[in-house]
Structure 1
Amino acid sequence: MLDLQKCAAQDRVAAAIEHKRQIEEARRTRIFNPRVRTIGVDKEFLDRQVEEKKRLRDLEREHESRMDEALVRSSKLASLLQRQQDQERRRLNQEINAFRQTHQKPESRRDFDLDDPALLKKSKPLAEAYHELGPSSAQKFEGEDENQAVRRREQREQMQAWIAQQVQERRLAEQERAELERRYQEAVLGRDGRALELDRMERACRRRLNEATANFNRALAAEQEQRKCWLAAQEAEDSRAEIYNHVTGDFLNESRDQANSVCGPQRPLVAHYKGMSSRELEVIRDEQARQMGEIQRMKKDETVKNAEWNQLINGNARVAESYQRELDRRRSELNRQIAEENRRLAQQQKSHQDYLNRHVYKHNPSPEFYEQFNRSTR
């Protein structure tokens, strides 16, 4: 018993160790794999997931509400159709029962006398029908039809009555159909007569309308002809008046006074202006000569200024060139000093590295030294 308990305890310890080892292996796989390792939580992705789930829940809730509404409408429509179908079925059953009670009574069947429940009550007793015959006469048998002649006569009378009734019903149907046909023919004839009357009235109205239109067009043509004559006369009169005004006006007479304006002598009327006088032309020429002299003087001044500017620019260029040469000389000197300092530092660093390699780092670590690191996730 103690051995079993000890084995069970060892098994539990081994299982716990194996479980921890598996957890460590899984954790090492997650941590040491840079493709799946994440630091912290991606809050934006989680927020998008929450929004997506919320949107899906809203869509599902909306879809369920629409499905519920459609189901309610379908249920209402189905119940309404079921009620209508039940009402129609009850109405048909009532009509069928009424027809059966009126036209399909049991006693109206042709072989009703064979299935009549009161047949024995209506027939005569055997003692009265065969009172002179005994049991051994062999003249009376079970199932014998005693009223065959009467039954056949009554059946023939009933068949004749049915045939007469059918003939009467057919005759009434024919009469009703003929009456309906006659009424239909009368309605068609009345409609055709009304159509002919309307067509005749329409033609008469169209003829009167065409006559009125023709009269109006003739009157309008006469009025337009008269208006054309009046407009031609008016235009001829206006042309003569215009010619007279041009001949006697100031425009063709070359009068300079007609260009005078109330706005002043410097703003003549453009439509009546006849050109400048000789005095005005002389004033303009004098002004043009003065402006040309002013332009020549300004060109000379500009030439002098350009020469001065060119001298100044050349002097500045020479100064800048000498300054650039000085900068290049100083830069080359600085580069030389930097190169010498770099060589000195390189030599010093090399001597220091040689000292470290010979005296400090005598023993180089083996690969096993580096493999002992980064073996656990703890």
Structure 2
Amino acid sequence: MLNFQLMTDKDRKEAALLERKRAIEEERKKRIFNPRTRLYGVDYEALEKQLAEKHKREAEEREVERFYSIQTAKYDEISKALDLKEREERRRIQQEINEFRKNYQKPEDRREFDLNDPNYFKKLIPARLRDDDPRCGISSAQKFEGEDLASDLRYKVQREQIKAYLDQQMLEREAADKERKAAEEAYKAAVMARDQRAVELDVMEKECRKKLLVATCRYNKALADEREFQKRCAAQKEKEDSTAEMYNMLTSDLMTENPDQALSNLGKNRRIGYMYKGMNEAERAEVRAGQLNQIAEAKARREFEKRLDLEWQAYNNGVQKSIQMMDKEIERKKRESEQQIMEENRLLGVEQKNHKEYLNKVVYTNKPTAAYFDQFNKSTR
């Protein structure tokens, strides 16, 4: 304890100032070293308001879900008929939402992207480049030259900034809630109109089915009458055909033994097999001459194919030799390329080894001790 009886007014003021700074520092440590306060803030009224809005929104969503459940149970048959169309519409809307997010809500376009940037630390420069680095201020943990005298002004600016952020978030949330409610109302109206149209279509379908049933009955009666008439016509035609067949059989070439009956309509030299009685001498001589011509043609064709095979075999052997020479050339170039790569890798290995020895022997000689790390995270400054 200080002996205030032996102290002057100036000493008391200095002691009070030190005590005040010490108390502020302790309070600041509680705020900064408390993760909940540092991350979430202490605006309990805004948090309570947000929680109430969330409960209200959840209650509204439950009420809407209950209403949809009742409507779904009431119009179950109609919903089954229109379920496919609704799924396609929802898929299209979701696709449009995803396209909008992809094109207009990219992560790099957000206001706080710099806080969530995965490459943030890669983009940073070292904390201290030299002793007279202008970035090494009071709060840099690199140089310690006194207290932060502008803390009150900074606290005020930070509080105003936090308040402005919260107001902006509230306005954005209210606007989003209004848009969501308007969209829900429009969707409800569209669902009711769709259901009404489905009922009208069902009534029209029943009327059409009745008319179709009457028309079907009339058509079946007319079809039965037509079928009976066709049966009578078929019986009459069958009787006439039988009479004609008997007459044709009696007057046919088979019964009359006509010698020209073996001639075919497919050609003057064609004959009908089951009516043909054999060839004459001229026809047999003509057939023999045709056979001899076919034998000569077959022999010439075989000789031509044999000569063509020999030429193709010679060409194939030449191509194989060319391919073998090309393969040898490719292998030679491949070996030269591998030798060059091995030489380059060896040179790179020597260079990396020299660089590593330079770092270990020249650059990394001054290793930090435990006392260097113990001096951090002991104060809020």
TM-score (normalised: structure 1): 0.34
TM-score (normalised: structure 2): 0.34
Q: Which has the higher contact order (CA 8 A, sep 6+)?
A: 2
Q: Quick check: which has more Rg, 1 or 2?
A: 1
